[in-house]
Structure 1
Amino acid sequence: MPKQKDASDKEGKDKKKNTSLRLEAKTLKALKLRAIEEDSSVQKIIETLVEDYLKRS
């Protein structure tokens, strides 16, 4: 019988963690629209921006 996967199995494979971010409504709307235009996601755009920022240091 195969082992059932539980929440801890998922965490082991997905190293990403959740965070929350507060933005002005107009900023978030513009970001969402840009993500749609670029066939991307808000998460991916922010992740790329943060990674680029961290590489600068």
Structure 2
Amino acid sequence: MAKAESDDKRNTSLRLSKKTLKALKIRAIEEETSVQKIVEQLIEAYLKTSRKKD
């Protein structure tokens, strides 16, 4: 049996200000999603952008 995509996920932690985390949780509720999904989508979009050249 093949592993589901979610089985390949790993935990990490972030330190956010109380105000930022509260706003993020509220937005997740408003958009009927999770903080984890929002963060993952933002990171994936960031990683798709090209790197700046020095």
TM-score (norm 1): 0.77
Q: Kindly, what percent of the aligned residue pairs are identical?
A: 72
State the match for 1:18 in structure 2.
Answer: 11
Q: Which runs of 5+ in 1 are unaligned?
A: 1-11
Aligned length: 46
Letter in 2 for 1:48: Q
2-structure distance, mates of 1:49, 1:35: 13
1-structure distance, mates of 2:46, 2:13: 18
State the match for 1:32 in structure 2.
Answer: 25
**Which protein is bigger by CA-based radius of gyration?**
1
RMSD: 1.2
